[in-house]
Amino acid sequence: MTETVDFRGVRLYPAFLDRAAQEAMVAALRRIAEAAPMFHPETRFGKPMSVKMTSAGRYGWVSDRRGYRYEPRHPTGVDWPPIPPEALAVWQAVSGVERAPECCLVNYYAETARMGLHQDIDEADFTMPVVSISLGDDALFRVGGQERSDSTASAWLHSGDVCVLAGAARKAFHGIDRLKPGTSTLLPQGGRLNVTLRVVT
């Protein structure tokens, strides 16, 4: 059994994926991006987000001036590709629930990309966890409480780490303050991939 660490109610699985498993996951994510190309979403205020994203699964997460939501198709109209077995295996190992994920959101962070403090609250059932996988450069992960004004704490996420937002932490505010460029050799172009798996409906 892999060791876990409790970080502000978030369950961390350090080095859950070994190098070979990380490489297999990256290959699976490249196939997703070939079928459903990465795009820079806009926030609902019309500002481009610094991360690029795409999805796999029954629903993909999209953002534009119409707001944040799940859609059954990529913005170009193509279906999202299926969630790869490598990602399903991580979900099955750590989620603790019977339901299968319906969305596999893939975020790419170039060196200077970040993600502001947010809650994952576009899903219907908050008893279902969110499972996240980090690949590539180290990232400074900030976690707070259920109110934006709650105090926060930060920890570095490394390539191969998995984290689970469940229970009281399911609606915790969280974000990525910055990357530490050059800390991983996994992605030839550098940067970081993050995969989040969720049940949407």
Q: Identify the residue among 25, 32, 90, 115 touching ligand MD6 (CB under 6 A).
A: 115
User: Is 159 among the residues that bind ligand MD6 (CB under 6 A)?
Assistant: no
186's contact among Fe ion, ligand MD6, none, with CB below 5 to 8 A by partner kind, is none
Nearest to 90 by CA among 174, 187, 25, 141: 25
Q: Cα–Cα distance between 126 and 146 in angstroms, integer? A: 13
- Within residues 50-69, the interface with Fe ion by CB under 5 A covers none
Q: Token match 């390539």: residue?
A: 159
The binding track of 58-97 with respect to ligand MD6, each residue x by CB under 6 A or -, is ----------------------------------------
Q: In this chain, which stretch among 6-14, 68-76, 87-95, 115-123 interacts with Fe ion, using CB under 5 A?
A: 115-123
CB 49 → Fe ion: shortest distance, Å? 12
Q: Identify the residue among 86, 102, 120, 123 touching Fe ion (CB under 5 A).
A: 120
In 117-143, which positions are buried (b, 16+ CB within 10 angstroms) versus exposed (e)? eebbeebeeeebbbbbbbbbbbbebbb
User: Is 132 among the residues that bind ligand MD6 (CB under 6 A)?
Assistant: yes
Structure tokens at 36: 């459903």
CB 42 → ligand MD6: shortest distance, Å? 17
Nearer to ligand MD6, 87 or 130 (CB): 130
Alpha carbon separation from 107 to 61, 96, 180, 198 (Å, rounded) = 11, 24, 16, 14
Q: Identify the residue among 36, 94, 163, 166 touching ligand MD6 (CB under 6 A).
A: 163
User: Is 194 among the residues that bind ligand MD6 (CB under 6 A)?
Assistant: yes
Q: Cα–Cα distance between 49 and 169 in angstroms, integer? A: 24
Query: How many residues line the site for Fe ion (CB under 5 A)?
Result: 1
Alpha helices in 39-152 (DSSP H): 85-94
25's contact among ligand MD6, Fe ion, none, with CB below 5 to 8 A by partner kind, is none
Contact by Cβ (8 Å): 74, 53: no
Structure tokens at 145: 């409480």
Longest Cα pair distance anywhere in the chain, in angstroms?
A: 45
User: Is 123 among the residues that bind Fe ion (CB under 5 A)?
Assistant: no
Question: Where does this chain bind Fe ion (CB under 5 A)?
Answer: 120
